[in-house]
Amino acid sequence: MATDTTVRAPKVVVDAVTKRFGEVTALDEVSLVLGDREFVSVVGASGCGKSTLLSVIAGLEAPTDGIASIGGTEILGPGRDRGVVFQTSTLLPWLSALDNVVFALDGEADMTRRQRVDRARDVLHQVGLDGFERSFPAQLSGGMQQRVALARSLAYGPDVLLMDEPFGALDALTRRTMQELLTQVWEQHRMTVMLITHDIEEAVFLSDRVVAMTPRPGKVAAEFTIDLPRPRDPEVIGSPEFHGYYAEILGLIHRG
Ligand SMILES: Nc1ncnc2c1ncn2[C@@H]1O[C@H](COP(=O)(O)OP(=O)(O)OP(=O)(O)O)[C@@H](O)[C@H]1O
């Protein structure tokens, strides 16, 4: 398949956003556009404001200055148009995998209990968890817990999926499997994705665009369009083109 060169409409617009925590300027006039159905990764050294940027888009933190909007509407709080997946499990330990997803749908007033359960089964199937619906989080591996977290955020069909180091706590092999799963889910749903990661290889492999940030104060230093064909096979990681992107981004972060 040819590289997707479609010009995308803006979905999320971060316009000159500054975020201060007391004396600390976590974000300094950061501007960023996430296109409709675009997969964007944000990389950068620890403390450069990646999680703060995600929190602003998730509506969990309000900007000190500037505006963030989604679909042209200012972000004033969390909403069901955005799914969020964090590094560590935020599952409710006393609920089964199925009920964790059903619980997330409790606010959907127009769905019956039966419809919620059917939807939950469907998204658990999409993340490869058939047969584990009745398992509790403590009975699942770290990778499987992250699958449930992903299923939960897919359940209400968000336009935007925000992920903060979702595979950071997983071993290398599980991580690779989860990256491939995320690619499949994104190919299927084609929502806008913002992925925060420390792993430049992961960022290049998954993304249409990689945004590199530098710290103190947190700023966008550069953006790289990843012009590799899709669907991407893990073999692409060995190619000279892939290595070129990797080296360029790594060099920039180290200089920063
Ligand atoms: N709630 C908060 N209160 C005070 N300072 C904060 C808060 N959240 C973030 N900060 C500070 O803002 C800066 C940016 O933090 P942030 O967590 O966004 O960076 P990050 O790039 O995600 O880091 P990491 O990769 O280590 O998760 C840091 O100096 C951090 O200490």
- Which residue owns the Cα nearest ligand 1 atom 29? 47
User: Could you tell me if 200 and 31 are in contact, meaning their C-beta atoms sit under 8 angstroms apart?
Assistant: no
Pocket of ligand 1 (CB under 6 A): 21, 24, 26, 44, 46-52, 218
C-alpha distances out from residue 9 to 2, 37, 65, 203, 212, Å: 20, 9, 24, 22, 22
pLDDT tens profile 87-117: 887 899 999 999 999 999 988 788 999 999 9
ipTM value, please give it.
Answer: 0.96
What pLDDT, on a 0 to 100 scale, did the predictor assign at position 256? 63
**Residue among 17, 21, 60, 219 to mutate when testing ligand 1 (max atoms within 8 A of CB):** 21
Per-residue pLDDT of the chain (256 residues; tens, 9 = 90+): 444 545 689 999 999 999 999 999 999 999 999 999 999 999 999 999 999 999 999 999 999 999 999 999 999 999 999 999 998 878 999 999 999 999 999 887 889 999 999 999 999 999 999 999 999 999 999 999 999 999 999 998 999 999 999 999 899 999 999 999 999 999 888 899 999 999 999 999 999 999 999 988 999 999 999 999 998 888 999 999 999 999 999 999 887 6
What pLDDT, on a 0 to 100 scale, did the predictor assign at position 78? 95
Distance in angstroms (rounded) separating the CA atoms of residues 204 and 186: 15
What's at 7, amino acid-wise?
A: V
Distance in angstroms (rounded) separating the CA atoms of residues 225 and 249: 11
Does this model's pTM top 0.95? My answer is: no
What pLDDT, on a 0 to 100 scale, did the predictor assign at position 1? 40
Q: Which region holds residue 47: left if phi is over 0, alpha if psi is between -120 and 50, else beta? A: left
**Residue among 14, 32, 51 to mutate when testing ligand 1 (max atoms within 8 A of CB):** 51
What pLDDT, on a 0 to 100 scale, did the predictor assign at position 255? 77
What pLDDT, on a 0 to 100 scale, did the predictor assign at position 7? 67
